[in-house]
């Protein structure tokens, strides 16, 4: 195989990898974005059931639901960002080398990050995520603690849930800094 054919073959493989990884990123974006709607529906359902039954302690299901959905949201968000970093750094430079192209490849990967309102959008999104996945379940915990603390096991569960939510909140803020 000639050097020219090897470069074409390498380029084709790298472009196929790009197409595949961008498809994964698109799928993860759709899944992540839908988790906010799922969380809203789950919070509404749990709150309604807890309010309409003789078991108000069911409100303790809300932090668990938000922890699971919030963690899933966070993991997908991190993978979406990791794919973008990989394309901008590793894949773009390997393809540029294989094709002897000196100008930047995959321009959209860096261009959309230079928007003047990006920081504002990212901050707003972090606030929305914190409200959906942390403030709401903490409100449920506070409601439980104010109205129903006669069961030591349930209080222990609520304290564990609060600890889990704190960890999730810290992770959200750590990833938001990137």
Q: Give the whole-angstrom CA distance, residue 18 versus residue 123.
A: 29
Check residue 67 and report its DSSP letter: H
Instruction: Name the percent of the chain lying above pLDDT 70.
Output: 96
Q: Decide: residue 140, CB within 10 A, 0-12 exposed, 13-18 middle, 19+ buried.
A: buried
Q: What is the pLDDT of residues 94-118, one digit of tens each?
A: 888 888 887 778 878 877 777 888 8
> With helix as H, strand as E and coil as C, how does 110-151 read?
HHHHHCCCHHHHHHHHHHHHHHHHHHHHHHHHHHHHHHCCCC
Return the pLDDT at 3. Answer: 65
Check residue 90 and report its DSSP letter: I
Asked if residue 1 has pLDDT above 70, the reply is no
Q: Is the pTM of this model over 0.75?
A: yes
Q: What is the pLDDT of residues 110-155, one digit of tens each?
A: 777 778 888 898 899 999 999 999 999 999 999 999 987 788 999 9
Given a contact cutoff of 8 angstroms between Cβ atoms, the answer to whether 132 and 66 are in contact is yes
Return the pLDDT at 178. Answer: 62
């Amino acid at each position: 195989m000639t050097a020219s054919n090897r470069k074409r073959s390498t380029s084709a493989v790298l472009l196929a990898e790009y197409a595949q990884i961008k498809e994964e990123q698109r799928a993860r974006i759709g899944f992540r974005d839908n988790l906010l709607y799922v969380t809203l529906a789950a919070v509404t359902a749990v709150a309604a059931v807890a309010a309409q039954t003789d078991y108000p302690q069911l409100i303790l299901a809300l932090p668990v639901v938000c922890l699971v959905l919030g963690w899933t949201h966070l993991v997908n968000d991190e993978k979406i960002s990791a794919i973008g970093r990989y394309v901008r750094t590793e894949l773009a430079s390997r393809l540029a080398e294989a094709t002897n192209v000196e100008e930047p490849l995959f321009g959209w990967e860096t261009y959309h990050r230079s928007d003047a309102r990006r920081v504002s959008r990212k901050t707003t999104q972090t606030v929305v995520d914190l409200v959906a996945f942390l403030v709401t379940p903490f409100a449920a915990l506070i409601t439980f603690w104010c109205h129903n603390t006669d069961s030591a096991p349930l209080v222990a569960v609520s304290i564990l849930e609060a600890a889990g939510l704190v960890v999730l909140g810290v992770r959200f803020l750590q990833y938001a800094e990137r």
